[in-house]
Amino acid sequence: MKQSGQILLGVSGGIAAYKAAELARLLVKNGWSVIPSMTRTATEFMGTLTLASITEHEVHIDVGDHSPMDHIRTVRSSDLLLVAPATAHTIAKFAHGQADDFLSAAYLAHKGPSLICPSMNTAMWHHPATQRNLSMLRDDGVLICPPDSGELACGEWGDGRLAEAETILEYVAYSLSPKHPTLQGKKVVVSAGPTCEDLDPVRFLSNRSTGLMGFAIARALWCAGAEVVLVSGPTHLRVPAGVQMVKVRSAAEMAEAVHGHRNGAASVIMNAAVADYRPAYHPHKLKKDSFNGVLALNRTEDILATLGKDKNGCLLIGFAAETEDGIVNGRKKLIHKNCDGVVVNRVGIAGQGFESDTNQGTLIWRDGREIPLPMASKQDFANLLVTEIGDFMHDLAGIPNRDMAQ
Ligand code: CTP
């Protein structure tokens, strides 16, 4: 996942132009050098000084504003051309190759990837002419980050809101990430988060999983080119871009969702902290005076173990959250649940496992190899893990060339 370099950020003239300032700030914060370009109409919605200050680069409006051939020079050094917001007009100009300002000329001159984030009124978005233009751009290899649905500046409801800045950032990562030859186009099911086992309409049993690790794995898989189904227990996290999200609550619902989606999957990665026990459910609130203080618990299904009984060519990866004897316990789980790999990580200490932004662990393969996964942000940890999984599948298939395809 490429996470630094230069982005040419084009801003076209819609009401969402002001959101480009927040996007530029996020890109800069994430290590990108951002060269801003605005259409003339965009400068009526937001002054150039805002983007120039945030990015510390002059804003390009017309070809030759700052020096002759500056559109050519800028695209030569840019990893990505990103347009946010992209109006219907700019999309139409790109589709038809009209080059009458810096941004549209730069688009034609750019040989690398382009990412377009449309924003407009719903009727304009759904108009066959806009959809036709977008389909032409897709055919030309442009990646489209679809707009969100919701209340629009014009007062109407529907599709057309500029995607959230975090979502656009995920699309940036996707468009610049090398695709893994073994994972590309393959379906992978990932489970994430905790499960909640309801006791009555008010209370439940759960654990400290936040879902961060599983969501990061889903993001890394999407960036590597996989088709991802993310089955998650309750979390406060934003749905990652590009994945099929299945929200569940209990271990039983998670089991049903994972088994329901595993058909045709090349791999299932069980990262969820699934509750091992559930209480009997009381439809009415338990009153303290009539409760004897003892909870009767029943075992839930061990989803990973069930999957291990009938793998049918599916690569099965488990997680082992351990407070002690991690490698020994991880190996036991790998054998007992018939997994292909188990990621062991320590819980109960700061900086890894539950409720932490970072993680560290060891990936144990069924052939006995132990791969250390060094302390890193959960996203970097996930990126590394996904590359290891892709390489393992690659070796299993006996494919000689391990190079990543672009
Ligand atoms: N797992 C599962 N279904 C369960 C419990 C766990 O699929 N009911 C999966 C987890 O998603 C993880 C692996 O099994 O991939 C190991 O989970 P972990 O909680 O570390 O261990 P348990 O098997 O539950 O054993 P213990 O709690 O005794 O360590």
pLDDT digits (tens, 9 = 90+) for 77-126: 999 999 999 999 999 999 999 999 999 999 999 999 999 999 999 999 99
Per-residue pLDDT band at 69 (split at 50, 70, 90):
confident
Q: Say yes or no to pLDDT of 373 above 70.
A: yes
Give the residue, 405 or 212, on which the prediction is more confident: 212
Q: Write down the pTM of the prediction.
A: 0.93
Q: What pLDDT shows up at residue 405?
A: 42
Nearest atom of ligand 1 to the alpha carbon of 299: 8
- The dihedral built from the CA positions of residue 220, 215, 30 and 141, taken in this order, carries a sign that is positive
- Alpha-carbon span 390 to 217, nearest angstrom: 12
Q: Are 11 and 39 in contact (CB under 8 A)?
A: yes
Q: Say yes or no to pLDDT of 6 above 80.
A: yes
> Average pLDDT, stretch 258-284?
97
Alpha helices in 56-157 (DSSP H): 70-76, 88-96, 102-109, 122-126, 128-139
Q: Say yes or no to pLDDT of 354 above 60.
A: yes
**Å from CA of 303 to ligand 1 middle:** 8
**Å from CA of 383 to ligand 1 middle:** 23
* Best mutation site among 274, 311, 322, 389 for ligand 1 pocket (most ligand atoms within 8 Å of CB): 274
Residues facing 361 on adjacent strands: 373
Q: What pLDDT shows up at residue 400?
A: 58
Give the residue, 322 or 267, on which the prediction is more confident: 267
Q: What pLDDT shows up at residue 310?
A: 94
Nearest atom of ligand 1 to the alpha carbon of 320: 20
- Alpha-carbon span 393 to 387, nearest angstrom: 10
Per-residue pLDDT band at 406 (split at 50, 70, 90):
very low
Highest-pLDDT range among 20-24, 311-315, 358-362: 20-24
- Nearest CA owner, ligand 1 atom 4: 302
Which structure tokens are listed for 36?
């801003």
DSSP-based three-state secondary structure for 401: coil
Q: Are 339 and 359 in contact (CB under 8 A)?
A: no
- Nearest CA owner, ligand 1 atom 3: 302
**Å from CA of 64 to ligand 1 middle:** 61
Catalytic residue among 117, 145, 154, 223: 154
> Average pLDDT, stretch 368-388?
95
DSSP letter (8 states) at residue 255? H
Q: What pLDDT shows up at residue 402?
A: 47
> Average pLDDT, stretch 9-13?
97
Give the residue, 346 or 234, on which the prediction is more confident: 234
- Alpha-carbon span 128 to 202, nearest angstrom: 49
Task: State pLDDT tens for residues 115-172.
Answer: 999 999 999 999 999 999 999 999 999 999 999 998 888 888 899 999 999 999 999 9
Task: Measure CA 226 to chain center.
Answer: 11
Give the residue, 291 or 213, on which the prediction is more confident: 213
> Average pLDDT, stretch 36-49?
96
Q: From the DSSP assignment, how many helices (H) and strands (E) are in the chain?
A: 14, 19
Q: Which domains does the chain have, with CATH numbers?
A: 6-176 (3.40.50.1950), 187-397 (3.40.50.10300)
**Å from CA of 33 to ligand 1 middle:** 43
- From residue 179, alpha-carbon distances to 119, 144, 171, 191, 404 in Å are 28, 18, 14, 22, 6
Nearest atom of ligand 1 to the alpha carbon of 319: 15
**Å from CA of 7 to ligand 1 middle:** 42
Per-residue pLDDT band at 244 (split at 50, 70, 90):
very high
Q: What pLDDT shows up at residue 2?
A: 53
Ligand 1-lining residues (CB < 6 angstroms)? 251, 270, 272, 274, 276, 300, 302-304, 318-321, 333
- Alpha-carbon span 352 to 373, nearest angstrom: 12
Per-residue pLDDT band at 353 (split at 50, 70, 90):
confident
Per-residue pLDDT band at 399 (split at 50, 70, 90):
low
Which structure tokens are listed for 163?
């995607």
* Best mutation site among 231, 253, 270 for ligand 1 pocket (most ligand atoms within 8 Å of CB): 270
154 has catalytic annotation: yes
DSSP-based three-state secondary structure for 325: coil
Q: What is the average pLDDT value for the chain, to the nearest integer?
A: 94
Residues facing 121 on adjacent strands: none
